[in-house]
Amino acid sequence: MKRFLEKLVEGALLLSGSITSITILLIVIFLFKEASGLFNSPVIEEGYVLGLNKANPVKDLNSYQIKQIFDGEITNWDEVGGKEEPIEVVRLSDLTKYYTEEELGASFENIPSKASELTSKHAGIILFLPKEYIAKNFNGTLLNHETLRPGDFFGGKEWYPTASPSAQYGLLPLLLGTIWVSLGAILLSLPFGIAVAVYLAEIASMRVRNFLKPLIELLAGIPSVVYGFFGLVVIVPFLQESFKLPVGETALAGSIVLAIMALPTIITVAEDAMRTVPRATKEASLALGATQWQTIYRVIIPYAKSGITSAAVLGIGRAIGETMAVLMVTGNAAVIPHTLLEPVRTIPATIAAELGEASAGSGHYQALFALGCILFLITMVISISIEFISKKKYN
Amino acid sequence: MTPIINTNNSDRKKRWSQAIAFTIFKLMSYSVVAILILILGFIVSKGIGVISWDFLTKAPEEGMTKGGIFPAIVGTLYLVLGSSLFSFPVGIMSGIYMNEYAAGSKIATFIRIMTNNLSGVPSVVFGLFGMALFVNTMGFGDSILAGSLTLGLLSLPLVIRTTEESLKAIDFSYREGSLALGATKLQTIRKVILPMALPNIITGLILSIGRVSGETAPILFTVAAYFLPKLPTGIFDQVMALPYHLYVITTSGTDIEASRGIAYGTALVLIFIVLLVNILANVLRNYFSKKVKTN
């Protein structure tokens, strides 16, 4: 009976132990499941079709080309592989420019036939209509089977989920925004973090250390939304004033806030690494006549190099995944940034800001889950590389 | 004689460069303290005037520009409680398994790697996952249950790590002594090891409460509500929560300027929770470490 109980408890403990692994597995399954529909979702709005003139050799437009055509950025078919012919964009509301309201019918019953007639007459036309207005004997080419391609997501230069007729789910501006903000943060906080770690591990007296450590722990405990709030009411106006910017919500503001948030992680990990330097190694250096400072930068820092690298990588990981603070201070403009003084939007901020308004199962929803997958993969790579770095040290 | 002069020269240079480097490090370290004081000082000075008994016990009024934050405090309390009910038992059991049953084995290494991975997953990904699994697939909807489970999973790695480290710190001789007296493994853990490790474990649990109470991204899509006229009555209700409240009234309230005061007050309450949790953890740590020494 007793033995049985022991085994039962051990089983329960093992089950608890496996929950983190199960969670990781479930995260992978659910994230990828929800995101998987993205490349099966239509390029243009659900229920709509694009119609071209029969003679038009263009049979295939990608998401970005469609957007540029409807924004008037592409005005000639030869830019998308067709003949030299000006593009004529016709939406449902534009039909009244070609036909009077009587011709279209009192309850628009003539739209299908008129749309078909219009398409056959105009060589450069691109027609964007709901499916129900397309006649059975439509006299033109329909581009309605297109689905979003991986290139539209991974190589897309614009994130504009509400664009009509073709929503833009380009990863690049968000990925670059994330990288800019995180790199800025780590460049600011790494020198600081290492300096503080050296000070705590090698220079400060026990008393000073006992005073500083809890404060740094406190810094780690402050919620990210409070950092975001502080950034919004203090750092953002400060940057706007000192750089004479139109808006203070910039990548730099995000970097500064993230740098402060990443500091405790970097300090703690780097300090721990420096503490593992064997006393004998230190004493040997000092006995050879090296000063304490020479010992630090010739012996201790090189010895703790892998730990310091882990600290940097962990700091980057925290910065990349941080959501609320960044969402509140970076201005959230989904454009590819050129300087740190422009508004940017990061991957986590995009998910947090937009998931509420994306209806479940829509292309937008799936695209946000795809962003989640990207974020998850990045952090997995970071976790695994830390595992690798710290293992290398012991070999 | 020349070499000796050279040595003296380089000696002085060495001492100088050390003095300069150490001063810089010291200044940088204290500027971190300055940053902390700046943040705390700013929020305390702006928020202290807002805090009153009414602010803490009344519901928001007039589109969040007046009134208090009582529902948000209650909501955060429920979420902390709910997530703890999940993460504490599971985390502690998991830590016990790793240190007492599987120490050094492949399984323990695997669990440790997975736990580290999980702790690296960004909070917004937990939010996505919680929404997909608890809210949609399991059909809990936006509810305390879904939010608590999501937060519980998020804090699980912290609880596991704390438990494991607390257990690891206990000398092996205690286990051997207990086993030698004829106690079973389970009895040893329950009567000897756990009581000894408990203070450290509790310290870790308190810190994890601090973390959970400030998380925003995981509750955005699993439980948090912008405004609720009444308090929740069951685990399938939505709640308001402090961090989410601070986020919405600073970024998307009906009148952002007018609700600034409320925002400072909310931020101060959040900071206060963090301070309380940290002080409590430190006091406990010091108290128990002294107790152990005198024993």
Question: For residues A92 and A231, what is the distance between their CA atoms, to the nearest angstrom?
Answer: 46
Q: What is the pLDDT of residues A241-268, one digit of tens each?
A: 998 888 888 999 999 999 999 999 999 9
Peptide bond into A165 cis (omega under 30): yes
CATH architecture assigned to A48-149: 3-Layer(aba) Sandwich (3.40)
Average pLDDT over residues B223-248: 87
Contact B101 A13 (CB under 8 A): yes
Count of the separate structural domains present in chain B: 2
Question: For residues B237 and B232, what is the distance between their CA atoms, to the nearest angstrom?
Answer: 6
Question: For residues A13 and A11, what is the distance between their CA atoms, to the nearest angstrom?
Answer: 5
User: Distance, in angstroms, between B53 CA and closest chain A CA?
Assistant: 22
Contacts of A366 in chain B (CB under 8 A): none
Contacts of A35 in chain B (CB under 8 A): none
Average pLDDT of chain B is 87
Residues B43 and B57 in one domain: no
Here the CATH number for the domain that contains residue B61 is 1.10.3720.10
Search chain A and give the residue with CA nearest B142.
A356
C-beta separation of A307 from A274 below 8 A? yes
Helix ranges (H only) for B48-143 are: 53-57, 70-96, 106-120, 123-130
Q: Give me the pLDDT at residue B45, please.
A: 93
Q: How many CB atoms lie within 10 A of CB B125?
A: 26
Give ranges for CATH 1.10.3720.10 in chain A. Answer: 172-394
Contacts of A212 in chain B (CB under 8 A): 29, 32-33
Contact B28 A199 (CB under 8 A): yes
Contacts of B107 in chain A (CB under 8 A): 14, 17
Q: Give me the pLDDT at residue A189, please.
A: 94
Q: How many CB atoms lie within 10 A of CB A242?
A: 9
User: Distance, in angstroms, between A136 CA and closest chain B CA?
Assistant: 39
Q: What is the pLDDT of residues A207-234, one digit of tens each?
A: 999 889 889 988 988 999 999 999 999 9
Contact A348 B122 (CB under 8 A): yes
pLDDT for B8 beyond 70: no
Residues B42 and B146 in one domain: no
Range of the domain at B31: 1-47
Q: How many CB atoms lie within 10 A of CB A329?
A: 32
Residues B21 and B74 in one domain: no
Residues B229 and B244 in one domain: yes
Find the range with the poorest average confidence among A151-155, A315-319, B11-15.
Answer: B11-15
User: Distance, in angstroms, between B97 CA and closest chain A CA?
Assistant: 5
Burial class (CB in 10 A: 0-12, 13-18, 19+), A16: buried
Burial class (CB in 10 A: 0-12, 13-18, 19+), B198: middle
pLDDT for B291 beyond 70: no
Search chain B and give the residue with CA nearest A4.
B186
Contacts of B43 in chain A (CB under 8 A): 226, 229-230
Question: For residues B244 and B219, what is the distance between their CA atoms, to the nearest angstrom?
Answer: 8
Contact A323 B101 (CB under 8 A): no
Give ranges for CATH 3.40.190.10 in chain A. Answer: 48-149
Q: Which of B199, B180, B201 is nearest to B99 (CA)?
A: B201
Search chain B and give the residue with CA nearest A328.
B251
Question: For residues A375 and A54, what is the distance between their CA atoms, to the nearest angstrom?
Answer: 44
pLDDT level of residue B292 (50, 70, 90 thresholds): low
Question: For residues A275 and A222, what is the distance between their CA atoms, to the nearest angstrom?
Answer: 26
pLDDT level of residue A144 (50, 70, 90 thresholds): low
Search chain B and give the residue with CA nearest A219.
B36
Contact A375 B125 (CB under 8 A): yes
Find the range with the poorest average confidence among A62-66, A222-226, A299-303, B52-56.
Answer: A62-66
Q: Give me the pLDDT at residue A105, please.
A: 77
Residue whose tokens read 């008129």: A114
C-beta separation of A210 from B198 below 8 A? no
Which residues lie across from A50 on neighbouring strands?
A: A128
pLDDT for A47 beyond 80: no
User: Distance, in angstroms, between A176 CA and closest chain B CA?
Assistant: 18
Q: Give residue A76's identity as a one-letter amino acid code.
A: N
Question: For residues B212 and B214, what is the distance between their CA atoms, to the nearest angstrom?
Answer: 5
End-to-end CA distance of chain B: 62
Tokens of A52: 């071209």
CATH architecture assigned to A172-394: Orthogonal Bundle (1.10)
Q: What is the pLDDT of residues A116-129, one digit of tens each?
A: 878 888 778 888 87
Contact A292 B282 (CB under 8 A): no
DSSP state of B60: E
User: Distance, in angstroms, between A374 CA and closest chain B CA?
Assistant: 10
Nearest to A16 among B15, B93, B274 (CB): B93
ipTM over 0.85? The verdict is yes
Q: Convert A256-285 to b/e letters by CB count within 10 Å (16 or more is b).
A: bbbbbbbbbbbbbbbbebbeebeeeebeeb
Nearest to B274 among A2, A223, A376 (CB): A223
SS3 content of chain A, % helix, strand, coil (to 5): 65, 5, 25
C-beta separation of B124 from A375 below 8 A? yes
Average pLDDT over residues A52-71: 80
Question: For residues A373 and A355, what is the distance between their CA atoms, to the nearest angstrom?
Answer: 14
Burial class (CB in 10 A: 0-12, 13-18, 19+), B9: exposed
